[in-house]
Amino acid sequence: MNPGIDSPSHPGRVLVVDDEKALAQMIATYLSRAGYTVDQAHTGPAALEAARNQHPDVVVLDLGLPGLDGIEVCRALRSFSECYVLILTARGDEDDKLTGLEVGADDYITKPFSVRELVARVQAVLRRPRTVTVREAPWVFGDLVIDLAAHEARVSGAAVALTRTEFDLLATLSAGPGRAYSRRQLIDIVWDPSWVGDERIVDVHIGHLRRKLIEAHPDLDCISTVRGVGYRMASR
């Protein structure tokens, strides 16, 4: 029976990680029907092994896992993979949500959730545009170089370890230096116009991005908050 979700034009590979095997199987079934190749893991160590072997595009990651919790799995994933990470959190667990984003998750969905909504979130992250399709000279902001073709930010020649979401935010702001972007505009561009949730997720990712740039070079406080609007990149 078709769940009524449109198949994506460019299917990807999804790793579903949850110790509730029945829930993991249900999520996997819906994702498979939507056109994705799906793998499952039910413990933290098994999730990392599967991620190393299967190279998923997206990991749907429950935080309460045996062997190694979801936070540690996400942190370890970020040491070898740029896949999108969508964490599953219990309603009201704000600390878990923020910690997950802090260690590199791209988005979250709160339990209890609709599996159709989860599939839509997976579709949304995989629709996000990746690197430019035409060769363009890197953008230079003082000691910061943003290379869209390489999908890399460098400070004084050294690459800065940004997640995909952090890089996409940086690229979006840098495309219109001096322009103020609202949180909703950034969500529409970086996440997807269909994304529904707490717009403060933008603040969390911007905070991580700012911290990493300043750690790379103390003078790189180039993203400013526009009170009542959102964020702006300094002019080149």
Q: Taking a C-beta distance cutoff of 8 angstroms, is the pair 170, 160 a contact?
A: no
Enumerate the H helices of 163-200 as residue ranges.
Answer: 164-175, 183-186
SS3 assignment, position 197: coil
Q: Taking a C-beta distance cutoff of 8 angstroms, is the pair 59, 77 a contact?
A: yes
Model pLDDT for residues 163-216, shown as the tens digit of each residue: 889 999 999 999 888 899 999 999 988 888 878 778 889 999 999 999 999 999
Model pLDDT for residues 78-105, shown as the tens digit of each residue: 888 889 999 998 766 677 788 888 888 8
Measured distance CA(225)–CA(188) in Å, rounded:
18
Percent of the chain with pLDDT over 90: 51
Which letter does DSSP use for residue 31 in this model?
H
pTM over 0.75: no
Per-residue confidence at 7, pLDDT binned at 50, 70, 90? very low
* Across 224-230, average pLDDT: 91
Q: Which residues contact 121 (CB under 8 A, 6 or more apart)?
A: 86, 107, 109, 195
Domains by residue range for the chain, with CATH = 13-127 (3.40.50.2300), 139-233 (1.10.10.10)
Distance of CA 142 to the CA centre of its chain: 27
Tell me the average pLDDT of the chain: 86
Maximum distance among all Cα pairs of the chain, rounded to whole angstroms: 57
- Amino acid, single-letter form, for residue 43: T
Report the pLDDT value the prediction gives residue 1, as an integer from 0 to 100: 34
Residue 53 confidence (pLDDT) above 90: yes
Model pLDDT for residues 19-33, shown as the tens digit of each residue: 999 999 999 999 999
